[in-house]
Structure 1
Amino acid sequence: MVGMTSPRPAPAQPAVLARLAAAGLEADTSPRRLAEYSYDASNYRVPPLAVVFPRSPGDVVAAVAACRDTGTPLTGRGGGTSMAGNAVGPGLVLDFSRHMNRIHGIDEAAGTVSVDPGVVLSVLSREVERTTRGRFTFAPDPSSRTRATVGGAVGNDACGNHSVRYGRTSDHVVELDVVTADGARLTAAAGQLRATDPADSASAARAAELTQGLKELAQANLAAFRTELGRIQRQVSGYHLGHLLPEHGFDVARALVGSEGTCAIVTGARMKLVPRPASALLVCLGYADVVEAARDITTILGFSPAAVEGIDEAIVETMRFRRGAGAVRGLPAGKAWLYVDLDGDDPDAVAAEARKLLARLRTNGRLVDGRAVPDPAERASLWRVREDGAGLSSRLAGGGESWPGWEDSAVAPENLADYLADFRTLLDRHGLTGVMYGHFGAGCMHIRITYDLRTEAGRAVFRAFSREAAELVVRHGGSLSGEHGDGRARSELLPVMYSPALLAAFAEYRRLWDPAALLNPGSLTDPDPIDAQLALAGVPERQWRTSFDLRPVHAGGHALAETDDPATGSRVDPWVHAVQGCIGVGRCRTGSGGVMCPSYRATRDEKDSTRGRARVLQEMVRGARTVEEGWKSAEVREVLDLCLACKACSSDCPTGVDMATYKAEFFHHYYRHRLRPLAHFSLGWLPRWLKVTGQVAPLVNAVLSTPLARAAAVLGGLTTRRALPRFAAAGEWRRQVAAAGTAPATDGGGTVLFVDTFTRGFRPEVAGAAARVLAAAGRPAECAADACCGLTWISTGQLDTARKKLAHAAGVLDDGTDRPIVVVEPSCAAALRKDLPELVHTEQARRVAARVRSFAAHIGELAATGWQPAPAEPLPEHVILQTHCHEYSVFGAATQRQALAAAGIGTVTDATGCCGVAGNFGFEKDHYEVSMQVAEQALAPALRTAAGAVVLTDGFSCAMQVKQLDAARAGKHLAQLLDPDPPGAPRRPGLG
């Protein structure tokens, strides 16, 4: 018929997908999933065809067979933290971290542990220490150990902070179970390669064939293996074929380590354990610069340290800028620092050795300052700076960006100072800056560089510089890679380091294992160019109009004009720059420590990590095939669904990714001219509803006690499984505050007490307690309650209304003074402190934001002046602390603890983590299950183990979760603990 068109035929499904389905394997080919797995922690982007999450070695055999029969490339992946681009691939990606992550047995007598490849390194070491009662541990401890896996460590021959003592992963491998590209299941060990199952005749034949080929390869290349390999401690580049030499016992397992998944797929491993020292002491040393620090390395190594790590001032400045002045404690004077770990059985002997080391270094004359750091909190603070180095150096306090690519070179420790001096000259010649940190004691440097990978000219500099850097490190007797492997970042440069004969041996070694070249193509042999498939290339220039001011901010407190990168001069749209902040280090995938990312900890799915969300957003700004609808992208909407908007990523993520803000911005655009979820009206408009409910609170509360409450929840898009709060009568908060009296300020200083919507509507008694505490402190409060922070509109992406609310709040609160604005509800304090100046772009907004304090933060400031609270009721001996995530991220992780310490509360169980409610999230009907799973990460266990303790919940949402978990125990606000004159108690003199 005229005007009719034929329907577009569906694209043909690749044959490998049919083969996988026939084998019972679910291959995820959704655009969202492919976006998540197009990246690792490197500069590269390689979209896969599909992602599979194997549950057993049998699944791996089936996946390999499907790929072999269809000629589909296959790449194995653990935590996805590779900085060299060896965890991304063009065909099928196998993610072992999700299901194949079991520890099968710890044999203390033999000193070994048997594991799946997806076991996270920190989990492994923690379980070994628990099982052996602290006698043993698993040694390799790269900075990414809280998310990197055993399989990844084997693939890259990972080392870590204590490699001076314990070496590389290859030093700890006993046996590897692998699946070859032709489907054989083999076990590699010292002196042999055998079928994993002795009854598997086909695999046994393949083992015999490979053994013969490997022995012939070693025999034919004895001279090259002996003279070109194993020259320095951190020679990781290329294949580790020296282990095949007769004098090294023909160790096939150790030869496979560092092969980056190009030879076989690891499905299991037996690893060595090491004794755990009884005592350890950190000695921190300050120097004028990294070269001066490196010149003392040989002296330090003479004291047999377990670790010698180094950082430069750029990383320290960024840590302080991003997390506050108190984020780095115990650092001596200097502009570059070494961390030296000394250990032993006797703590007194270790301390004496530290004193000798400091004396010797002072004699050398290069040390600026140095000290032993016995305090565990200071040690943890210092080590966190080093461990977050990759992320911190990517977005610096000065506003510049740095990228990997040459972040992993190594030389002999005695050559490190001269190498670094020449390297800085090379950087200067190319107009680049390098941020330096790394394993100084092993001669391995992580140097992130201010390349401009967004422009063709910048990529040309990257290519030319990399070539010259390779030549430089080889002149100093070093290795292109000292830890992370070659991958896409350095494999093309291997001819600079190795002879044609050895490169030919590498190619033959790989061919013996994988004749069809299916495994992890593009790395080591027949490599891709180092400037191919760069993630920052090909992003179209476009102006993305946003409500939030997302321009990067200097340490000086002002945004960069036009978002110029001061290092490169290139201009990047603020939205693009923001979502590209994630560089893939994966700290959001940790299972413990900090608060980020609660939804990932609940589901263990990459899509629910901050990194997974950021990667999908990065595909959105590319307009890529996978995610191409921009602000209307269904994939982005899906990946943001379980984001609790807790803001923890803005402080816990080393690069400062703020997914809560990105979610609010995206929802603002996504739902424009589109029907919103019911919860966006019932919860997003909560301040409006509270004006009504306050007038008829008794009636509303009576209804909530009947079956009608369930119907009301359904109509509002809320879960029917959560207890709803009771509403306070209008004006109740005023009656509470009036009881605080009008005591004059002791030094002329007063405060503005901002009584927020949540406090007015649900917890008016907290407003009264806060006012009384402030009055007793000599800081009487003038109350402000005729404004709203707009939080509920922000969290649901209704930014036009949020901006109006915040602009009004700024007008109300800007009174011409610099009096602190103390906000009772921490989430509202965070909105006024952070969101106000980002949404309302005026000097007035910035003035008001600078004055805002959470109640706990203000108590800490008062305590610092010498004030001591005098509560009417005895303080509890034990407190469970549930810090609101927004207070954690905006005012500092230690804010609540410092306030409790000032009050004199000694025993605190810190339920570190999100409570799971997170404002509207936990009340929405589709999020209840995840909300309760999040509660089980910290809060629920704390409540069970400390049944009699008082629960401190300054956040209203936290209090609601406590009520849900333990109906008999109500959470208390800090103001209520410190209240000097609570209702019903005998009145204190001078308090009205």
Structure 2
Amino acid sequence: MTGTTATPEPLVARLAETAPGLRVQTGPGATGLYAYDASNYRVPPLAVVFPRTADDVVAVLLACREAGVAITPRGGGTSMAGNAVGPGVVLDFSRYMNRILDIDREARTARVEAGVILDALRDATVPDGLTFGPDPSSHSRCTLGGMIGNDACGNRSVRHGRTSGHIEALEIVTADGVRAVADRAGLRAADPDDPDAVRRVARLEADVRRLIDDSLAPIRTELGRIPRQVSGYQLHHLLPEHGFDMARALVGTEGSCVVVTAATVRLVATAQASALLTLGYDDVVDAAEDVSEILRWNPTALEGMDEAIVATMRARRGPDSVTGLPEGRAWLYVELDGDDQATVNTRAAELLDELRTRGRMTGGRVVESAAERRSLWRVREDGAGLAARLVDGGESWPGWEDAAVAPEELARYLRDFRELLATHGLTGVLYGHFGAGCVHVRIDFDLATDAGRAAARRFLAEAAALVVEHGGTLSGEHGDGRARGELLEVMYSHRMIRAFAAFKEVFDPEGLLNPGVIVTPAPLDVDLALHTPSDVLPVETLFSFPHDEDGFTGAVRRCVGVGRCRSDTGGVMCPSYRATGEENDSTRGRARLLQEMVRGGTVQEGWRSTEVKDALDLCLSCKACSSDCPVGVDMATYKAEFLHQHYKGRLRPRSHYSLGWLPLTSVLAGYTARPLNALLRGPVGRLLARLGGVTTKRRIPVFASRRALRRVLRAARTGEPAKALLFVDSFTRAFRPEVAGAASRVLADAGIPCTAQDDLCCGLTWASTGQLSVARRVMARTVARLDNGDERPIVVAEPSCAAALKRDVPELLGTDAARRVAARVHTFTGALTDLAAPGWTPPRLPTSVVLQTHCHEYATFAGRRPHDLLRKLGVHKVDEAEGCCGLAGNFGFEEQHYDTSMAVADLALKPSLDGIGQDAPGVVVADGFSCATQIDHLAGDRGIRARHLAELLDPAADRPGETS
């Protein structure tokens, strides 16, 4: 492999001269992040560069060539084959070179920079009824440059094929810094007035033409045999009969020949009507047997998966997270489209009838509900992550996740492949693009030991021979990368391999572009991320991490890099990344640095690491990743553990004391609430805020007196035998006791009369600030009081405290008593959903509501969310601000986090509030105290106040102007 300079300083200095202002990062906080993609590999780079223009790319390539440093282009970093990691400079195009330059609606083309996210392009073309055909499951975060790099396909590839079929032209930079354009007619200089560039590009094209002329036979006989043959270079596009299409030939070269800076892509019309069928089977081989018949119906999508993925989704996000599947242990999704919905529906019914006569299905149905369709597609799109960490805790890995055969050969291949797995004592989770013969599988390789790696190597060699025996390809869309490059000799003749090497040498004679990939490949078992033992850092944690065999080490290893946290839309994760766009502010980035810390890699200070502390700094501890991340990364818990260890025996940030100890100080404040509130509203309050590390840009919430809480609870008593316990948390007790009264009345009205427990604390504020020793003492006291033989449900009005009791308490205490208490905990929404008397209906409700769901409720109580309850109770329109409010407990009150807090609010909550008319303030519901406080901060001056759901449903409340 091409060597690199020992240190990055000379290269950085050179770049500062040639490209002033170019952003270059070299510290562990950057190199540790970019040492990984979504593959099994770890290759720390010397530096990470964030170009803004093609001229920046030219400067980087020239400087790297001068220094003999390798270059690896990178998009979203979601490569599963190790295509996006390298030892020299990593060029991250996603940060700045992400502009849509032009959309030509008449020609149905778009010109985009390499870092444009696929969904951003698709959203921009929706108004014109157009889209980009290939749609990989990572569409919410993969870039067009990355799709070009590995010739990505996607769920609808049976209709739209591969990325290469949708490329008109590529704007490239060669290894020696020349800008050129590759199109369907060949190669030309980007600047026709630059004679040196014109001559250089002409030589390149002439050399390639000679190479093709010398290799006609192997190219014609070995390439382009099946639809998904991505492995190697696609030199058949350069054949005379194909018109010397240089653009298509460079697609799939994985950044090993040129660096793509922009592309002109073809767009396709979106379907006017569609139908989704779900078909159940006993196993995936039976499903594959029906593929050929289904293809005769010209589907847009034909996807398959097995039961392990569905079981994991339901375990992670609730039993209602996957609906619409018929009985079975494997399933096919079939999508049909057309110009008329009735015609499409008729075809779908006819296809179902035909498949029933074939006798393999265990069941089948047309999915009518749009919500069910979204749910089902999400299961399929999250397949890689869901299969990585299954419900039983087992881990699986890529490496042989991308083989493809002709569709008619799929069943035979799968049958033989499963036998091969069994022979090697391995288990694989199967899913993929069955209509294109492309099978994704994650396998429970042991990549952490020498024996396990040797066994994996033997298996991969035999798997390569097997797929070739079936006329298939090692890669069907992910590319060869580091995972399969070494195996290309199993698939291709020596003459073809030499032609690949010659093609790369024409463009990159010094081997600087993505070395170790495709040509002169690195051994497939080198640079494995699990190669270094994971016990370098002694880890004795306070959290038990009960779902991870290796405790904290296994927990942070959950992140496999699929990058769903880098999405700008859908779900709640990751608010800080959505606000900043920085990799180190993503759940993935933080997890990767924690992995580096555990292994003692680029991060060598262990728990004292400032790089890890800085990466975790903007984590809002919203817990959304624990639900939205396909592998269940729980960064809030990791952050709490890290802060505990990092500050052990040291002074903490001031806000950890002022906000972390709020449950205690608020009790004291309750005895002197009136004079204290008056004091805090003036200069003394601002001074105390500054001393406590609290922003002065927010009003300090008004403390309630202890008498106020006693008064509202007394007024809410019904005298009926209590069926539940109302846990009055610290926030409700200190700031909004009226919520406790409303909750008590609503529960009684719903047939769940309760008694109030108002002197206990869940320990949340101590846990979220990493003061875990104190949190455990507080939690232990609470559990001892609650685990007293009383089996009544515990209803908690504050969602964050409910989540702490449900999840943090048992994971931090690790006792049976804590687990018994956790099993009794319900949010207010959950209590009304599960425990209300049959037929209970609330008082008159508004027709529409703006809703802010607390992130902890979203993450911890899947299937029991306010949106669904409000709709069930008769609210016709629920406008949910999907995303974190930005305040997030102590986060938005901390002085240094105020701006980020407001940036997060701008993503979803503020636009929802801005949509409320001045003349009709509307009804805003937010159960979380943080959410309500943020809403007051954003819109209180307009008369908008957030109500707790209990206040909305309170039978004693006045409801002027509300109609059902």
| Same fold, TM-score > 0.5, yes or no | yes
Q: Deviations over 1:861-886 (max 9, x none)?
A: 135x5242332xx4222111100000
Unpaired stretches in structure 1, ≥5 consecutive residues: 1-9, 554-562, 564-572, 986-992
1:154 and 1:170 in contact (8 A); partners too: yes
Q: Are residues 1:698 and 2:635 paired?
A: no
Which of 385, 396, 417 is the equivalent residue of 1:391?
385
1:11–1:193 CA distance, 2 compared to 1 (3 A): closer
Cα separation, 1, equivalents of 2:533 and 2:613? 21
Task: Answer yes or no: is the 8 Å Cα contact 2:8–2:26 preserved in 1.
Answer: no
Instruction: Assess, with a 3 A threshold, how the Cα gap between structure 1 residues 186 and 479 changes in structure 2: closer, same or farther.
Output: same
State the shift of 1:652 in Å.
0.2
Q: Which amino acid in the other structure matches residue 870 of structure 1?
A: P
Q: CA deviation at 1:616?
A: 0.3
Which of 282, 295, 310 in structure 1 is aligned with 2:276? 282
Q: Which residue of 2 aligns with 1:925?
A: 895
The range that moved more, 928-937 or 721-730, is 721-730
Report sequence identity in percent. Answer: 58
* Match in the other structure for 1:790: 763
- Pairing partner for 2:641 from 638, 643, 665: 665
User: Quick check: 1:972 aligned with 2:947?
Assistant: yes
- Tell me which residue corresponds to 2:542: 547
Contact 2:871/2:878 (<8 A) preserved: no
- The Cα of 1:260 is off from its aligned counterpart by 0.1
Q: How does 1:452-491 map to 2 (within 5 A)?
A: 452-491=446-485
Partner amino acid, structure 2, of 1:868: W
1:207-247 Cα shifts (integer Å, max 9, x gaps):
21111111111111111111100000000000000000011
The 5-angstrom pairing of residues 422-821 of structure 1 reads: 422-541=416-535, 543-552=538-547, 563=549, 573-624=550-601, 626-744=602-720, 750-821=723-794
SS of 2:460 mapped into structure 1: helix
Matched residue, 2:401: 407
Q: Is the 8 A contact 1:117 1:151 kept in 2?
A: yes
Is the aligned partner of 1:129 residue 2:102?
no
Match of 1:346 among 340, 347, 366: 340
CA distance in 2, matches of 1:141, 1:894: 32
Matched residue SS, 1:465: helix
Q: Write the distance in 2 (CA, Å) between the matches of 1:208 and 1:700.
A: 80
Aligned letter for 1:844? A
Aligned residues: 948
Q: 1:41 aligns with which of 35, 38, 42?
A: 38
CA distance in 1, matches of 2:790, 2:695: 44
After superposition, residues 182-261 of structure 1 pair within 5 angstroms as 182-261=176-255
* C-alpha contact 1:640 1:663 (8 A) present in aligned 2: yes
1:541 aligned partner, one-letter code: D
Cα deviation digits, residues 601-646 of structure 1 (max 9, x gap): 000000000000000000001111x201111111111110000000
1:800-855 CA distance string (max 9 Å, x none)? 11011111111111231321100010000000000111011211111000000010
- Offset from partner CA, 1:471-496 (integer Å, 9 cap, x none): 00000000000000000000000000
- The answer to whether the Cα contact below 8 Å between 1:744 and 1:778 also exists between their aligned partners in 2 is no
Secondary structure of 1:350's counterpart equals helix
TM-score (norm 1): 0.94
Letter paired with 2:466: L
> CA 1:653–1:715 in structure 2 vs 1: closer, same or farther (change >3 Å)?
same
Deviation string, structure 1 residues 658-694 (Cα, Å, up to 9, x no partner): 0000000000010111110110010000011111110
Matches of 2:74 and 2:922, distance apart in 1 = 44
Taking the aligned partners of 1:951 and 1:777, their CA distance within structure 2 comes to 22
Give deviations 1:715-747, integer Å, cap 9, x for gaps.
1100111121101001312211211232435xx
5 Å-filtered alignment, 1:355-374, equals 355-374=349-368
Say if 1:184 and 1:202, in contact at 8 Å, map to a contact too.
no
What are the residue-to-residue correspondences of 1:908-919 with 2, within 5 Å?
908-919=878-889
Deviation at 1:204, TM superposition (A): 1.1
Would you say the 8 A contact 1:860–1:902 is kept in 2?
no
Q: 1:984 to 1:647 in 2, by over 3 A?
A: closer
Q: Deviations over 1:135-168 (max 9, x none)?
A: 2111111001100000000000000000000000
Q: Does 1:961 align with 2:955?
A: no
What is the distance in 1 between the residues matched to 2:306 and 2:6?
Answer: 52
Structure 2 residue 272 is the aligned partner of structure 1 residue 305: no
Please show how residues 850-865 of structure 1 align to structure 2 within 5 Å. Answer: 850-862=823-835
Structure 1 residue 46 displacement after superposition: 0.1
Stretch moving more, 198-207 or 835-844 = 198-207
Please tell me whether residue 846 in structure 1 is matched to residue 816 in structure 2.
no
Which of 923, 930, 941 is the matching residue for 2:911?
941
Corresponding letter in the other structure for 1:920: N
Give the one of 151, 156, 160 matched to 2:145.
151
| Paired AA for residue 922 in structure 1 | G
2:764 maps to amino acid: L
1:20 corresponds to: 15
Q: Distance in 1 between matches of 2:195 and 2:657?
A: 66
Aligned equivalents of 2:681, 2:469: Cα separation in 1: 79
Contact 2:830 / 2:864 at 8 angstroms: preserved in 1?
no
Query: In 2 relative to 1, CA 702–513 (structure 1 residues): closer, same or farther, beyond 3 Å?
Result: same
Deviations 1:951-971 (A, max 9, x none): 111000000100110112111
- Between the aligned partners of 2:678 and 2:497, the Cα distance in structure 1 is 80
Q: Which residue of 2 aligns with 1:3?
A: none
Q: Tell me, yes or no, if the aligned pair for 2:24 and 2:48 is still in contact at 8 Å.
A: yes
- C-alpha separation in 2, matches of 1:122 and 1:765: 44
Check the 8 A contact 1:488/1:523 in 2, yes or no.
Answer: yes
* Structure 1 residue 866 corresponds to structure 2 residue 838: yes
| Greater mean deviation of Cα atoms: 197-206 or 688-697 | 197-206
Q: How far 1:21 sits from its partner (Å)?
A: 1.5
Q: Name the aligned partner's letter for residue 591 of structure 2.
A: A
Seen in structure 2, the aligned counterparts of structure 1 residues 305 and 588 have a Cα distance that, compared at 3 Å, is: same
Q: Report how far residue 540 of structure 1 moved.
A: 4.3
Quick check: 2:750–2:832 contact (8 Å CA) kept in 1?
no
CA RMSD in angstroms, aligned pairs only: 1.3
Alignment partner of 1:393: what SS?
A: helix
Is the Cα contact below 8 Å between 1:283 and 1:340 reproduced in 2? Answer: yes
User: Tell me, what secondary structure is at the counterpart of 1:585?
Assistant: coil
Cα distance, 1:581 vs structure 2: 0.5
Q: CA separation of 1:907/1:173 partners in 2, compared to 1, >3 Å: closer, same or farther? A: same
Aligned equivalent of 2:957, options 982, 985, 992: 982
Instruction: Give 1:984 shift.
Output: 11
Is 1:83 the equivalent of 2:80? Answer: yes
Structure 1 residue runs of 4 or more that deviate by more than 3 Å after TM superposition: 10-14, 982-985
For residues 11 and 91 of structure 1, what CA distance do their matches in structure 2 show? 10
Distance 1:245 1:66 in 2: 35
Q: Distance in 1 between matches of 2:308 and 2:524?
A: 27
5+ residue gaps in structure 2?
none
Residue 851 of structure 2 is aligned to residue 881 of structure 1: yes
Partner Cα distance (2:85, 2:248) in 1: 23
- Structure 2 Cα separation of the partners of residues 392 and 13 of structure 1: 38
